[in-house]
Amino acid sequence: EGLIRDIRNSFYDILLARANVGVRSESVKQIQSLADQTESKYKAGAVSEFDLISAKVRLANEKPELIRAGNAHLLALENYKRLLNVDDVLFDIEGELKCEPIGTSLDELCKTAIQNRPATKEMEAAVALKEQDLVVARAGYYPSLSGYFLYDGANSYKFVTYGNELEWHWTAGAVVSWNFWDGGLTHGTVVQKKMELAKMRTNLDEFRKGVQLEVKQAYFDMERALETIEAGKGNVTMAGKALEIAGTRLDAGMGTYLEFSDANLALTTAKLTLYSALRDHMNAVARLCYACGVGEKELPAGETNK
């Protein structure tokens, strides 16, 4: 299950890296177009040398970001191959960053996690065995009763293989024993079993708390990512409109290159933030599935309950 979670997270990292490459490519394309227009205007004497140099510097600064995004994408692919152990296999990634809210309350998720985690069941079974060990150890304080029944036959030749026919009869009896003093052996054994049981119960309790904390961390990360996504969608829309206005003002001679450059940077940042939030949400859901011991399809989609 942990490997499945890691593979899913690595897959989402690839989707984010690919989206970042797209954002950076679009940004470079925008700045390249503006730099070409600025150079044409400079040759025509319509803009100053400062505007031309500013455009080229901004383009030069943006290209390394695109290269870094491409390298990050390649590294994400390599990490994914490593997890799948398919280093020599060529494959393509299909998928998209998306948001599917989980319609299960936090309390429900915590209960599901405690019930479904295999380690919880194993530890509960171990505690039950230790409880039985303690019962057996305490039996040394009390008398023991054992009985026996025997059905046998005998002849005049004392069980030889020849002679008269066997005469069959029942023999039954009971034995009661009570060890009044054993040098403290029973007491020591009981104390030891109690300590072992207490330790296992403590470990089980701590494990349950750890599982609940794991669920809560993933759930809160998911909720935080949802809030960021909602804010990011509106921010991308506004930043796109701002860039459109800046481009129109620049073409009309009313705006500056700096205005356009800032608007382009704002749009790029908004998109990267939104994509990162989408990846964070998907990662949180994967961690939540792992913590609850269920598959993603077993977590119903819908409106989240805070």
For 27-71, the pLDDT digits (tens) are 999 999 888 988 888 888 888 888 888 888 888 989 999 999 999
Q: Rounded to two decimals, what is the model's pTM? A: 0.72
Minimum mean pLDDT among 66-70, 100-104, 110-114: which range?
A: 100-104
Angle at 283 between CA 281 and CA 284, to 5 degrees: 65
**Whether pLDDT at 303 is above 50:** no
Confidence of residue 297 (pLDDT cuts 50, 70, 90): low
Give the pLDDT band of residue 162 (cuts 50, 70, 90). Answer: low
Query: Which of 85-94, 192-201, 284-293 is predicted most confidently?
Result: 192-201
pLDDT of residue 281: 93
Is residue 95 within 8 A of residue 17, CB to CB? The reply is no
Residue 72: its pLDDT value, please? 94
Q: What is the pLDDT of residues 205-239, one digit of tens each?
A: 998 898 889 899 999 999 999 999 999 999 999 99
